[in-house]
Amino acid sequence: MRDRRWFRRGSLLLGWAVVLAGGAAFAADTYPEGCVSCHTNRQGEADFRLSNLLSQIGHPSVKRVKMVPRDCTRCHSTDPADGEPVFSQIIHEIHFDVPKINLYVTRFGGDCRNCHEMNVEEGEAQVKDGAKNW
Amino acid sequence: MRNALMLLSALALTGLAAALADDYPDGCVSCHVDQGGKDMRLNVLLAEIGHGRGGERTKEIPTGCNRCHAADGSGVGPPTRTIVHTLHYRDPSENLFMTEYNGDCQHCHSMDGATGKATIKVGERNWNMTTAQ
């Protein structure tokens, strides 16, 4: 009788532990540092670090960049009045153009919150930043 | 064998099209509807919290809200985006927008992949005026 009671209590505790762990996993941010959390050099996969991808398209050296994407805006404008595509548009276009075959949409669900986070107190969406990983 | 492959391809394309389809093309008013058991239309929700009647007269949602809730903070109320973001993302473990709708920005915003511009979806109000305008 006592064994059965302990089994029931144990099951209940285990159930709650699973629910709480699931909730924590749901709330966890898989890409807390935005660009550099996703653009990495994972073992067994292609080198997706931005330094590597940018060198492939002939982009000037990004050695001096420290925080990504903050420091990209040293050269890439954020002001639409400058008459050239602003930095956000470049990044959005790369990640969302031709959604049927765009890796960011097909594999990562095109989730805005991989790169942005919501400041709930201010009610403002912000861009995540991270130290360069190259 | 060829038929089976064609069927599989058709199913895959249908699935992809369904995944890319927009369930909320008009943003706020696509989601905030009278669900039968619970009337989630914005005019009802706003009346519940004692919002002024100006909200009921608004024709285009949410752009019309900016008459009072200007984006630059110059209106009589806080900017629309500040209010809407806070309402939809605070207390994420209990917030219906997070728990039921996965907090997906693209329910309310649309992305033009060709230009890289994110915009706010707009739709006409889905309620009738109860008094003359």
pLDDT digits over A88-129, tens only? 999 999 999 999 999 999 999 999 999 999 999 999 999 999
Same domain for A104 and A76: yes
Which residues in chain B have Cβ-Cβ distances shorter than 8 Å to A105?
A: 20
Q: What is the mean pLDDT of chain A?
A: 88
Provide the domain count of chain A: 2
B109 to chain A: nearest residue by CA? A112
Same domain for A124 and A63: yes
| Distance from the A46 Cα atom to the nearest Cα atom in chain B, whole angstroms | 24
| Distance from the A2 Cα atom to the nearest Cα atom in chain B, whole angstroms | 36
Same domain for A107 and A50: yes
The tokens describing A34, both together, are 């935005």
CB A50 within 8 A of CB A130: no
Which residues in chain B have Cβ-Cβ distances shorter than 8 Å to A89?
A: 115-117
User: Over 70: is that where the pLDDT of A61 sits?
Assistant: yes
CB B109 within 8 A of CB B117: no
Interface contact flag, A123 B83, Cβ < 8 Å? yes
Rounded distance, CA B63 to CA A8, Å? 55
Same domain for A50 and A20: no
pLDDT for B32 equals 97
Rounded distance, CA A14 to CA B112, Å? 46
Same domain for A98 and A72: yes
Q: How confident is the model at residue B21 (pLDDT cuts 50, 70, 90)?
A: confident
A 10 A CB-CB count for A96 gives 22
Q: Which domain holds residue A2?
A: 1-29
> What is the per-residue burial (b if ≥16 Cβ within 10 Å, else e) of B93-110?
eebebbeeeebbbbbbeb
pLDDT tens across B31-46, in order?
999 998 899 999 999 9
Which residues in chain A have Cβ-Cβ distances shorter than 8 Å to B118?
A: 88, 92
| Distance from the A35 Cα atom to the nearest Cα atom in chain B, whole angstroms | 17
Same domain for A22 and A60: no
A119 to chain B: nearest residue by CA? B86
What is the full DSSP assignment across B46-75? HHHTT--THHHH--EETGGGGGTS-TTS-S
Same domain for A84 and A22: no
Give me the mean pLDDT over the B16-33 stretch.
86
Interface contact flag, A90 B116, Cβ < 8 Å? yes
Which residues in chain B have Cβ-Cβ distances shorter than 8 Å to A90?
A: 116
Interface contact flag, A89 B117, Cβ < 8 Å? yes
* Secondary structure (H, E, C), A52-98: HHHHHCCCCCCCCCCEECHHHHHCCCCCHHHCCCCHHHHHHHHHHCC
pTM of the model: 0.80
State which H helix or E strand residue A130 sits in. strand A130-131
> Is the ipTM beyond the 0.85 threshold?
no
Same domain for A86 and A37: yes
User: Over 50: is that where the pLDDT of B83 sits?
Assistant: yes
Give me the mean pLDDT over the A65-87 stretch.
92
User: Over 70: is that where the pLDDT of B18 sits?
Assistant: no
Taking alpha carbons only, the member of B37, B56, B36 closest to residue B48 is B56
User: Over 60: is that where the pLDDT of B27 sits?
Assistant: yes
Give me the mean pLDDT over the B8-18 stretch.
60
Taking alpha carbons only, the member of B130, B122, B106 closest to residue B63 is B122
